[in-house]
Amino acid sequence: MRSTLLQTVSVFLLLLLGLCSSVHAIEVSDLKFTEISKRQGLSDPAVLDIVEDNKGFIWLATSNGLNRYSGYEVKQYHPSDIDANSIPSGFIQTLFLDSDGILWLGTNNGLAKYQPDTDNFEVFNKDNSIIKSNSITAISESKAGKILFADEKFLYQFDKSQNNIISAKQVFDERTFVKVIMDEANRTWIGSNEFGAKILDKETGELSSLNKVNPWGITLDSAALHDIKIINGNYWLATKEGINIVNARGKTILVKNGADLGFDGNLNSLNITVDENDIWIGTASGLFVLSNAAAKEIKSDTDFSVLHLNSDNYESTGLPAASIMQVTVDRTGVLWAGTFRQGAFRYHPEYASVHYQAVYNSERQTEDNFATVWALSESSSDELILVTQELGLAKSDKESGKVTYLEHASGHGGRSNYWDLAIDSKGHYWVASSDGLIAYAENEGIITQKAHLFQGDIIAVSYTHLRAHETLRYL
């Protein structure tokens, strides 16, 4: 499977200026997001959650289906009336990968556990378990390895060894949307989007509201707690008003609202993610970056270097002004952002100083005339050769950026998808394709097939003179 680092949108590399430093404050010019949308196979633009599994697949929950992204393509999962092991609903509200690598889905029609051996799901709902409401909105894991999940009022425990839900405890009196569950050694946090947060004492079973006097000494005067992250021993709480930072003793040491972060209005914070020393905050009003904030000692007067990604800098960053429903970092260092109704976007800091330009087949720069660039290589004549999925091989002028697509001597380009490219010492273009390994010779923009090896998908190719010597004798 190809790494999710691959640039699968319609862009190509023009100039590498150098890698960005992780110690300087992130600037708009450092950021370039690329898009995963319906055009790349995403089932719906409302991306509500994102996780990476142990095999490197990126799973995206949407309001119309579950999506698994391999780095090449998107596989969609939808409910089926004739398949009891399909996902129970297309509205996927939350995703969770447990300590055993099992993927769990919270939908508006029950809890689902992914079964990779059969590529389907085991479903738990009101009909076959003690679940009170089928709207499952938050999933987590206890210190003892039990799955914790919540519906509109109740907190449940699922014992994986028994494959069964073993307990249910009512947390809220009225229906709400539970946003976060976080388990600690002696307590469990439960945050909602309407009735604030509560803490469950695991020894006594007592529930305490954080907007009232409680045994934990924590005060949170907010109707919403959407996320919790522990950063350097402090609790970072994403609330309807902004960010509250609470120390290990329960004392609030810093509160940052919209105005404190340069935003005019309530900063409805939805999620918090740490990437090295930078803290990314997804909000209903775009994405905020607190540069090097994780390396700071938090005091009552601590200030942050803040960057707000919104419509003002969209043309530079490629990230639209949208509600950022989830932010996560995968194992390769790619930062993923799921947006409401705008699709998913990704960014890698190693590409911070890389400039991009759209690849089109003509001067008519329209969405239906794009090309997905999978690979590029420099020829001996200092030309940049591009491999595109839809339109074949192309040359790029390094000075002007103009792209010229290469024509086949046969008069047609075939129907293969191209994935990778290597150029040998004789100047032949070796292309990894959906129809095997193909070698081309090029003369003044016309390419002629010289060899066709293997059948089926070849996803990568590299060249060394010694290893290729015997193969190249007949070219």
How high is the pLDDT of residue 355? 43
Residue where the block lists tokens 């300087």:
24
How high is the pLDDT of residue 266? 87
Of 163-177, 299-313, 322-336, 357-371, give the lowest mean pLDDT range. Answer: 357-371
How high is the pLDDT of residue 364? 44
How high is the pLDDT of residue 363? 47
Residue 280: pLDDT band (50, 70, 90) is very high
Q: Which residue has the higher pLDDT, 250 or 411?
A: 250
Residue 306: pLDDT band (50, 70, 90) is very high
Residue 468: pLDDT band (50, 70, 90) is very low
How high is the pLDDT of residue 5? 33
Q: Is the pTM of this model over 0.75?
A: no
Q: Mean pLDDT throughout 228-238? A: 98
How high is the pLDDT of residue 320? 92
pLDDT tens readout for residues 76-86: 999 999 999 99
pLDDT tens readout for residues 330-369: 998 999 999 999 999 999 876 544 444 455 544 444 544 5
